[in-house]
Amino acid sequence: MQKNENPLVLSAVLLVISVIVALLLAFTNSVTENKIAQNTIKEQEEARQQVLASAVEFNDLQHAQGIVKSVYQGVDKNGAACGWCVSVTPGGYGGEIDLMVGVSPDFKVSGVKVVSNSETAGLGAKCTDSAFSGQFAGKEAPVAVIKNGEPWENEIVAITGATITSAAVTEGVNAAIDAVKKIGGGQNE
């Protein structure tokens, strides 16, 4: 025989379970929120150091516009400006790609680090591989993407099957160089 349950009782039980789960999620979020923020700051600091290795200190230039989220001027051990680190978030195939781009004093790319992305595993996620990001070193804006073949001076070869991701990373690199040029290369501080 089948029991006839009262719909009000079932609704009340479901409501109680939902409230308990929501409270547990809120508690977990409050406990982990500071740690997540600290980890994000640490990742950004490590990315800046990777893309501009000659810098020992980074000064925030408070410049955010469009996909450019921040610009830091790197200072070497002698106190001299040695380049810039630019945080950019171009839109890729799977969402925003968080990049850190190093720009040398002669406005060439000193390094590119993908801090986070939500690109397709095995395809666009290959943007984190040094074989791809290493292509940008020494390039000047505008950098262009080619699908195959031998790249020319300011070209990079796209990731096979991930042209949208490759174009997004390239857009971020170009935006980073342009941002540094627009602020006068940091000379107007």
Per-residue model confidence as pLDDT tens digits over 134-185: 999 999 989 999 998 898 889 999 999 999 999 999 999 999 999 999 987 6
Q: How many domains does the chain have?
A: 1
pLDDT tens digits, residue range 72-114?
A: 999 999 999 999 999 999 999 999 999 999 999 999 999 999 9
Residue 15 maps to a domain: no
Q: Is residue 23 part of a domain?
A: no
Task: Determine, yes or no, domain membership for 58.
Answer: yes
Mention every residue, 6+ apart, whose C-beta is less than 8 A from residue 58: 45, 48, 52, 72, 73, 74, 75, 85
Mode of pairing for the β-strands spanning 57-60 and 68-75: antiparallel
CA distance 158 to 139: 15
Structural domain contains residue 40: no
**Backbone Cα Rg of the chain:** 23
Domain annotation covers residue 73: yes
Average pLDDT over residues 15-34: 93
Tens-place pLDDT, residues 29-40: 888 988 888 888
Q: Tell me the average pLDDT across 114-129.
A: 89
What's the rounded Cα separation, in Å, for the pair 66 and 186?
19
Q: Give the structural domain span for 118.
A: 48-186
What DSSP state is assigned to residue 121?
A: T
The predicted pLDDT at position 185 comes to 60
Instruction: Please state the rounded mean pLDDT for residues 43-54.
Output: 92
| 38 inside domain | no
C-alpha span between 127 and 160 (Å, rounded): 11
pLDDT of 3 above 80: no
Closest CA to 58 of 78, 40, 38, 83: 83
